[in-house]
Amino acid sequence: MVEREDFLNTPVVHMKLNSNMTVDQLIQQFKKSGSFGAGRLASACDAYEDMVRDKDCTVFLALAGAMVPAGLRTTIADLMRKRLIDALVSTGANMVHDLIEALGGHHYQGSWFVDDYLLYKYHIYRIYDVFVPEEDFVKADETLIKMFEEIATKTDSKPMSTNELMSEVGKRLKDPNSIVRSAYESKVPIFLPAMRDSEFAYIHRVHQKRSPPGKGLLVDAFKEVPELLDITSRSERLGMVVLGGGVPRNSVQHAALMTGKGLDYAVIFTTDRPEPGGLSGSTIEETISWGKVKQKANKVMVIGDALISFPLMTASVLERLGPGFHRKGNP
């Protein structure tokens, strides 16, 4: 039986801040508080540190929401090079935005308080307070459509997985800050389980119109499933960091379930709520009921803006690991 004093073990220690503290020192103060979002973020740092220090753990990043347009592109590319991410499962849109910048385009700091019809008339697209000029999309589309033609010729229009396609695209890029390029160089697979729900659909459509019948690029949506399962089955342990949720989160969880393993580590950053029943807001406990996360997993869900929490966690863990830390890729 749980005794009364079991509830009163660890007092809240009030945060002590100073003018020259590092990110990890701030996180340690969060840990001493142990409360609310601060406590959860401190737990997320511990869980991610454990995940990457575990030599036999394959670390997945599940990426949804417009994290790349908002500035996480280089961070993710760097984490891949350090093999602090072993596999990426993303929305198609995040990779499109990576490619827009890899091919010379930009995202701009804007405002949410703006006349959107005016933006429409100026051919500018808005992602909350980030602006993207239409011409940067168009120029990326033009290059990618031609790249698709080259890849289709090379592969003789044989069915490819999204991962194989991203590898072929990455091979053709030069930008070292690109996630797709970094993945290619670091041999980190990129899976896009909802690829067609993005500009890739339009790129493929135009490519198809330009190609002779039966000669276009063919992406088989199911081909990535055995590729993902191969990774989860060969991995001793499995970890995932989730930004947002959606299809990428469930693709990782489902792969862990399909190999009968379940995840050993789970760090989820979301703002979603569980009550409406959507996957992005589902608690990790709910995920345990499906067998997708192990009951004894090292797990935490951080409720808040991933664009704030994820860089804080990453900076804290990089500080703990130090510059000499080397991690081999898994599996």
User: Any idea which residues carry the catalytic annotation?
Assistant: 292
Strands 87-90 and 57-63: parallel
- Cα gap 15→28, rounded to integer Å: 9
Q: Does 274 bind another protein (CB under 8 A)?
A: no
Among 4, 14, 121, 326, binds another protein (CB under 8 A): 121
Q: What is the DSSP-derived secondary structure letter of residue 172?
A: T
Residue carrying the six token digits 């350090």: 82
In the complex, minimum distance from the CB of residue 117 to another protein, in angstroms, rounded to a whole number: 8
Contacts of 199 (CB under 8 A, 6+ apart): 92, 93, 96, 137, 140, 141
Among 82, 126, 139, 172, binds another protein (CB under 8 A): 139
Q: Does 135 bind another protein (CB under 8 A)?
A: yes
Query: Rg (Cα) of the chain, in Å, rounded?
Result: 21
Among 133, 291, 304, 329, binds another protein (CB under 8 A): 133
Beta carbon nearer to another protein, 16 or 146: 146
Among 16, 123, 154, 158, binds another protein (CB under 8 A): 123
Tokens of 145: 């459509």
Q: Which stretch binds another protein (CB under 8 A): 61-69, 118-126, 173-181, 290-298?
A: 118-126
Q: Does 115 bind another protein (CB under 8 A)?
A: no
In the complex, minimum distance from the CB of residue 310 to another protein, in angstroms, rounded to a whole number: 33
Q: Does 120 bind another protein (CB under 8 A)?
A: yes
Beta bridge partners of 124: 133
Question: Which string of x and - marks every residue 53-72 that binds another protein (by CB under 8 A)?
Answer: --------------------
Contact 264, 298 (CB under 8 A): yes
Tokens of 226: 């055995």
Beta carbon nearer to another protein, 28 or 157: 157
Q: Which stretch binds another protein (CB under 8 A): 13-21, 105-113, 204-212, 321-329?
A: 204-212
In the complex, minimum distance from the CB of residue 273 to another protein, in angstroms, rounded to a whole number: 38
Beta carbon nearer to another protein, 36 or 120: 120
Beta carbon nearer to another protein, 21 or 138: 138
Beta carbon nearer to another protein, 108 or 122: 122
In the complex, minimum distance from the CB of residue 124 to another protein, in angstroms, rounded to a whole number: 9
Contact 309, 36 (CB under 8 A): no
In the complex, minimum distance from the CB of residue 102 to another protein, in angstroms, rounded to a whole number: 19
Tokens of 224: 């990535």
Question: Which string of x and - marks every residue 80-109 that binds another protein (by CB under 8 A)?
Answer: ------------------------------
Helix ranges restricted to H, 82-198: 92-102, 116-121, 134-155, 162-171, 179-186
Q: What is the DSSP-derived secondary structure letter of residue 212?
A: P
Give me the amino acid identity at 219: V
In the complex, minimum distance from the CB of residue 199 to another protein, in angstroms, rounded to a whole number: 12
Among 138, 150, 176, 325, binds another protein (CB under 8 A): 138
Please, what's the largest Cα pairwise distance for the chain? 75
Among 4, 209, 296, 328, binds another protein (CB under 8 A): 209
- Cα gap 119→71, rounded to integer Å: 21
Peptide bond into 331 cis (omega under 30): yes
Tokens of 271: 């703002």
Q: Does 206 bind another protein (CB under 8 A)?
A: yes
Beta bridge partners of 159: none
Residue 155 CB neighbour total at 10 angstroms: 15
**Which residues of the shown chain bind another protein in the complex (CB under 8 A)?**
120-123, 133-135, 137-139, 142, 145, 206, 209-210
